[in-house]
Amino acid sequence: MLFTSISFLYYFLPIVITIYFITPKKLRNMILFMASMFFYFYGEPKYIFLMLAEILIAYIGALLIDKYKKKSLLVITISIHIGLLCVFKYTNFAILNINSILGINLSLLRIALPIGISFYTFQILSYIIDVYKGKVEVQKSFLKLATYVSLFPQLIAGPIVRYETIEKELNSRKHNFENFSYGVSRFAIGLAKKVLIANMLGELCNKFIITDEKSILFYWIFAISYMLQIYFDFSAYSDMAIGLGRIFGFHFLENFNYPYISKSITEFWRRWHMSLSSWFKDYVYIPLGGNREGLKKQLRNILVVWLLTGLWHGASWNFVIWGLLFGFILIIEKVFLGKYLEKCPNFVKRIYVLFIVMISFIIFNAENMREAWENIIGLLGLNGESFINPYTIYYLKSYLVILVVAIIGATPLIKDITLKLKKIAKANRIINVLEPLCIVLILLVATAYLVDNSYNPFLYFRF
């Protein structure tokens, strides 16, 4: 069930909110758990038992780890969860590569990738590891642990919410008008970003993919559009998840912080998918030694992290290359490029970041490296196309407004202007009146688009 579906917006969510707030506080975790089970069952019925089994394994494993304090129990529990993730996500990838290397024809497994398994597996792992380290108390209530893992706002596409973030709120959380109104407003912003911007950019990208009338300019339009689409698509989901969490009294951490204004790739990854970056830092990079054991091991640790980051996103060589590309660039920045970047004007730094990110997302989006290579050299005019053609002009005119809106929206410009206006008493009063009206307008316009338009994917569902 998509957050941007009519069934979610006008049936599931209003019913869940109503039942939740008329239910006594001691039963509200049960309501959220049942709602989350229905939410997951609606989209992935056969794999709901896999998720429940993983929750049970984590529950029992954490209790044993807390009682006996043995590292072997930690290793066994982690291995089970990582093993299940690998079976469902990487087995066919491994078989394809074995077939290619050995020239044999092993049959692929007929299994689909369970929705959200990468996200909820990482949440489970962080809980188990933190229990072992003593950072959090073991959860003795199966219901509360199951609610944490399966919580529908962030279940299938993140952000990766650590147990320590909502540990106290699983036991007791505040519900008030301020939280509720903020949650609704944040959800509406995410809905607008997804439906009114990301979906339209996705349509433009699809026009490029299916046409035989490409041009050099159209390659650039596609590359920029996809870079903007994936930002608005994923950050929109995070906005909606954070907003829904706040409605139900949970404070999820931010997942994006205007990454396209970054002045280095290092800064970019402090701003993009922050929950994933911090997860790998705390549970892989630092345990490997981080930067404590000399430069060589630090560089090794960076490459390991980015190899795993690429594989986390998908079982395909383009994801591996995508991850390692960022790993090598981060190493280059750390070893020598960083000190030269500091001396460059800000606009040069930002062009450098945007160009690398644009190329990386061409690789990220491609079905294979041949497609990625064709799209990259197409930017340079090496595919034999003309610089511009009537087809390109037509679609540039058709989507120019949304491209401009997306470019502005990917910067903090609107946010900064709004905050400055709120410091002026009269302007603040006007904003307070207009804000609820804007939310209602967003819901109406987004609904109209959803009813009229069938193109409504979430890019990160495949991870």
Catalytic position from the list 81, 175, 273, 313? 313
Enclosing H/E stretch for 206: helix 199-210
Q: How many helices (H) and strands (E) does the chain have?
A: 21, 0
Q: Is 81 a catalytic residue?
A: no
3-state secondary structure of 138: coil
Asked if 250 contacts 151 with a C-beta cutoff of 8 angstroms, the reply is yes
Q: Which residue has the tokens 């893992």?
A: 149
* Tokens read off for 403: 């491209």
Asked if 305 contacts 285 with a C-beta cutoff of 8 angstroms, the reply is yes
Among 100-109, 268-277, 344-353, 394-403, the minimum mean pLDDT is found in 100-109
Interval 166-203: pLDDT, tens: 999 999 999 999 999 999 999 999 999 999 999 999 99
Among 58-72, 96-110, 151-165, 443-457, the minimum mean pLDDT is found in 443-457
Among 123-132, 253-262, 306-315, 418-427, the minimum mean pLDDT is found in 418-427
Interval 41-99: pLDDT, tens: 988 788 999 999 999 999 999 999 999 999 999 999 999 999 999 999 999 999 999 99
What does the alpha-carbon distance between residue 254 and residue 271 come to, in Å, rounded to a whole number?
Answer: 9
Q: State the number of CA atoms in the 13 A half-sphere of 284 facing the CB.
A: 19
Q: What angle do CA 286, 289, 290 make, to 5 degrees?
A: 55
pTM: 0.93
Cβ-Cβ contacts under 8 Å for 439 (sequence gap 6 or more): 184, 185, 188
Q: State the number of CA atoms in the 13 A half-sphere of 399 facing the CB.
A: 29
Return the closest-CA partner of residue 208 out of 66, 366, 34. 366
Q: State the number of CA atoms in the 13 A half-sphere of 356 facing the CB.
A: 23
The amino acid sitting at 251 is H
What pLDDT is attached to residue 10? 92
- On the question of a cis peptide bond just before residue 159, with omega within 30 degrees of 0, the verdict is yes
The amino acid sitting at 33 is F
Q: How far is CA 391 from the centre of its chain?
A: 33
What does the alpha-carbon distance between residue 161 and residue 159 come to, in Å, rounded to a whole number?
Answer: 6
Q: Which residue has the tokens 């569902």?
A: 461
- The mean pLDDT of 239-264, rounded to a whole number, is 96
The amino acid sitting at 74 is L
Asked if 221 contacts 204 with a C-beta cutoff of 8 angstroms, the reply is yes
Q: Which residue has the tokens 């990766």?
A: 160
Every domain of the chain and the residues it spans: 6-173, 179-462
Q: How far is CA 74 from the centre of its chain?
A: 27
What pLDDT is attached to residue 293? 85
Over the range 5-21, which residues count as b (16 or more CB within 10 Å of their CB) and which as e? eeebbeebbeebbeebe
The amino acid sitting at 13 is L
Asked if 265 contacts 329 with a C-beta cutoff of 8 angstroms, the reply is yes
Interval 331-382: pLDDT, tens: 999 998 988 998 999 999 999 999 999 999 999 999 889 999 999 999 999 9
Asked if 182 contacts 246 with a C-beta cutoff of 8 angstroms, the reply is yes
What pLDDT is attached to residue 452? 78
Return the closest-CA partner of residue 81 out of 108, 50, 112, 110. 50
DSSP assignment of 269-328: HHHSSHHHHHHHIIIIITTTTTTSS-HHHHHHHHHHHHHHHHHHH-SSHHHHHHHHHHHH
* Tokens read off for 21: 């707030």
